[in-house]
Amino acid sequence: MPKTSFTTELRELADPLWSRELTHPFVSGIGDGTLEIEKFQFFLKQDYIFLVEFSRAISIAAAKAKQLDDMAWFSRLLDETLNSEMALHIEYCKEFGITKQQVLDTRSEPGTHSYTQHLISTAYSKTALHTAVAILPCAWGYAEIGQELATRKMKLEQPLYKKWIDMYSSEEFANLAGWLREYIDREALLLTAPHKRELEGIFLISSEYEYQFWDSSYEMRTWPFES
């Protein structure tokens, strides 16, 4: 029987955290169409800020990757995020009455700030592999959530939420997590047990931040001061 892959082990380790996400009222509200629009608007603006910092982490990983093929893949991911996904995000925001300038003027709130600082700190201080592990819960988790929500029947007709579900349940988005998993599993073959434990910690921290990102958006949690 083949040995379980390292990323499968990571997913099993984080299952209690990921299961909480699927039952969070923000995620459930997207799935059945009942989530209040203002909460999703808050999420969309914070998610754009997240994508900016996500891109910074990817760019650092590209510079640190050991193999040219891996550098090229991280570079393609960066190009796709910066020049395609973020542009689509701006257009999607317009459908919720959010202008491009409002998105650009958005302040990073506590949940977003903590999560992105974790990604940037990992990218700067560690290897490309560490960064891949740090961003995997976002890429893989959104794919799982999108696929799960696609199986649920909306209680209310909400085409804008359906568009979000369609995007993250797509095969194209799933392929992103697939490549990250392949890269991590390949690199993990050469790692010692202590190094794997370090990566497990990074994965679990990102998984917790994923949950907190949903929760912060649901509560529309902001800094307790005016900037």
Cα–Cα distances in Å, from 203 out to 127, 137, 209?
Answer: 14, 7, 10
**Exposed, middle or buried by CB within 10 Å (0-12, 13-18, 19+), for 154?**
middle
Contact call for residues 213 and 221 (beta carbons, < 8 A) = no
- Of 82, 61, 83, which is closest to residue 72 (Cα–Cα)? 61
Mark whether 210 is an active-site residue. Answer: yes
From the list 65, 73, 80, 67, the residue with the least C-alpha distance to 179 is 73
Name the DSSP class of 73: H
Structure letter (DSSP) for residue 99: -
Active-site position among 85, 138, 144, 187? 138
Decide if 138 is catalytic. Answer: yes
State how far the Cα of 14 lies from the Cα of 141, in Å rounded to an integer. 11
| Torsion angles phi and psi, residue 76, rounded to 5 | -65, -40
Catalytic residue of the set 21, 85, 109, 210:
210
Residue pair 33/155 in contact by the 8 Å Cβ criterion: yes
Instruction: List phi, psi (to 5°) of 178.
Output: -60, -45
Q: DSSP letter at 207?
A: H
The set of catalytic residues is 138, 210
